[in-house]
Amino acid sequence: MATYLERIKLTWDLSAEDIKNRAESLKTTVKDVYDKVGALKADELSYENIIQALSNNDSYYSVQRNMLDFPQHVSSKKEIREASTEADKKLSEFDVEMSMRQDVFDNLVAFQEKTDVSKLKPEAKRYLEKLIKLGRRNGLHLNKEVQEKIKTMKKRASDIAIDFNKNINDENTVLEFTEKELDGVPADAIKRFEKTSDGKCKVTLQYPDYFPVMKKCRVPETRQKMEYAFNSRCKEANTKIMEELVEIRDKKSKLLDFPTHAAFVLDMRMAKNPETVSTFLKDLSQKLRPLQGKELKRFLEYKEEECKKLGISFDGKINYWDMRYYMTIAEEREYSIDHNKLKEYFPLDHVTVGLLDIYQELLGLKFKEVPNPPVWHEDVQMFTVVDAESGKFMGHFFLDLFPREGKFSHAACFGLQPGCLEPDGSRQSAAAAMVANFTKPTADQPSLLTHDDVETFFHEFGHVMHDILGQTDFTFFSGTRVERDFVEAPSQMLENWVWEKESLSRMSKHYKDGSPIPDELMEKLVKARNANAGVFNQRQILLGTFDQTIHTRPTADTQAIYAEISKDVLQIPATPNTNMCASFGHLADGYDAQYYGYLWSEVYCMDMFHSRFKKEGIMSPKVGMDYRKFILQPGGSLDAIDMLKNFLGREPSQEAFLVSKGLQA
């Protein structure tokens, strides 16, 4: 079997010293490229020595850099994670230095002025225009004094943002509870928890521990302790960091003649400005308000009933530690769904086979697992991807699906090797990793996924496919490098398959006897898609509004602002002395002023799904290939709105999005 390992330029056996030395060597190599481009005289400028040289450098740097900074998220060795974090900081400072090269910027502008850009290939012309725009966004058209201020701010922001996320990854709080204090928590979770010498359960704040307790534990005091700890993670250190980031971002934006950081960020996004985002979030919140009101009223009724039944006092309100618990009860009662029973039909191994089969059939691909793969941990699987019709090799992907100490604590796709043209004109294949934290198998039970987990798997693997199937010339536009408020749409669109009977039946079977999900349970699950839609979506609006609010002012008391917006939008008060923002990793990891994008891109994902796949067949190879051709293949080489129009055959519409939220269009 062809493994194409020679096509991958990544290695994962670096020592801490190797990482340190390679980072320094990488800086030297890349600086040499910038020095040569910057030293060119105006009459020497050519496509080859400026555009091609910078593009080749992008590709080389991207691969080498990913190899050095990815281990901080996945290595099981603390010294490797620390070396990787330090390399990330040093290289981020270096990125700032290179992005502020006046000589390179001046030569890009000079090349644009002397060249008939209409004769450049569209992608090359777009690359040149983007580099010049980014130079202006770094202040390279301003005086040296302002540039130095911007450079200092960018370096500081980069350093502390890395610290912010390192603090979250290193967080290792453990709470101890008796089994009585965990009454209602599924038996498989109780069994999985490590035990103290006196028999108490050791419960971490990682998702596989946290969510079963918050959704099922009947003891309010236990949920309260868990929620307080969860929303107090890294509170002291990360609150200071986030509030400093807000100040730095605002000052830098004003130096660049933008009124706020949100205005600066959105200038490069589909939404274009904060006013558009604010209107979008407020309008959706108002439309959801009646639905949310009904749901909260029902939650209170369930709570009052349960308090009487358990003989505990009823405080007349829904608290943060109540929210997921009563959302679960509402779903179980109103749709008769027992999620603990349902997950018995989603053993991870079978879900993985079914999911990969669906993606292969839909997108015209073939995947093969690589035996004895060169990976960073024994849990990791590696696969090759080839085009089913032509046999053309497309790339590799990795699956790293179980939690371990020090590992990235959420679920995400990491692009590791961009698909683009090599200096000799051949194609560099892409590589990407999906990192998640699903429940580990035990001696007597396989890893069982909740339906939420299955949805997460489908979503993140959608990003993997976007990375692998992008067919751009330039690294700058490869894979998921699209406008940030569109980047979630291709993956969100693919979440729809976990709500369709046809596809669900292909990736589910009972872990004991292989029986399918009973039709009755399947129908209930599909109907339950909009369960708690009001509260769930208001929480997304809360996070998007909070992000926009702190990034449209010069300073922010994040704890107070979050509490105020939570009360207004979610209509559930934040727990006193907690600060969810301190563990809101998105805001230090490239989503600042852009969290609204999750809801914004849903408009497009629902339009794509209902207008094409739902009408023409969710497993239609024709629609799947159109999707691959018009949405995934261009990467960021076209504006998102143009890709959408190419796929839909018209302007996008909000109708399917509103219906999907249980609202009238």
DSSP code for 512: T
> Would you please indicate which residues are annotated as catalytic (active-site) residues?
460
Cα 441 to Cα 379, 401, 403, 405, 446, distances in angstroms: 11, 11, 11, 16, 4
- H runs (alpha helix) in 470-567: 489-495, 501-504, 519-527, 533-550, 558-565
Report the C-alpha gap between 235 and 224 in whole angstroms.
17
Name the residue among 477, 474, 480, 479 with its Cα closest to residue 423: 474
CB 292, CB 300: distance < 8 Å:
no
Buried b (16+ CB within 10 A) or exposed e, 516-539: ebeeebbebbeebebbbbbbbbbb
Which 8-state DSSP code applies to residue 357? H
3-state helix, strand, coil in the chain (%, to 5): 60, 10, 30
Which helix (H) or strand (E) is 256 found in, with range?
A: none
Please choose, from the candidates 128, 484, 130, the residue with its C-alpha nearest in 3D space to the C-alpha of residue 272.
484
Amino acid at 558: T
Burial of 120 (C-beta count, 10 Å sphere; 0-12/13-18/19+): middle
* SS3 at position 30: helix
Furthest-apart CA atoms within the chain: distance in Å:
86
- Classify the phi-psi angles of 573: left when phi > 0, otherwise alpha if psi is within -120 to 50, otherwise beta: beta
Reduced to 3 states (helix: H, G, I; strand: E, B; else coil), residue 655 is: helix
Q: Please state the φ and ψ torsions of residue 381, each to the nearest 5 degrees.
A: -105, 150
Sign of CA dihedral 636, 639, 641, 643: negative
Residue among 406, 411, 349, 355 at smallest CA distance from 381: 349
- Residue 120 has what DSSP assignment? S
Tracing tokens 């090359």 back to the chain, one arrives at 124
Residue among 125, 101, 115, 130 at smallest CA distance from 42 = 115
How far apart CA 150 and CA 137 sit, in angstroms, is 10
Round to whole Å and give the CA distance between 287 and 284.
5
Amino acid (one-letter) located at 511? Y
Task: Please tell me the number of Cα atoms within 13 Å of 491 on its side-chain side.
Answer: 28
Sign for the pseudo-dihedral over CA of 633, 636, 637, 638: positive
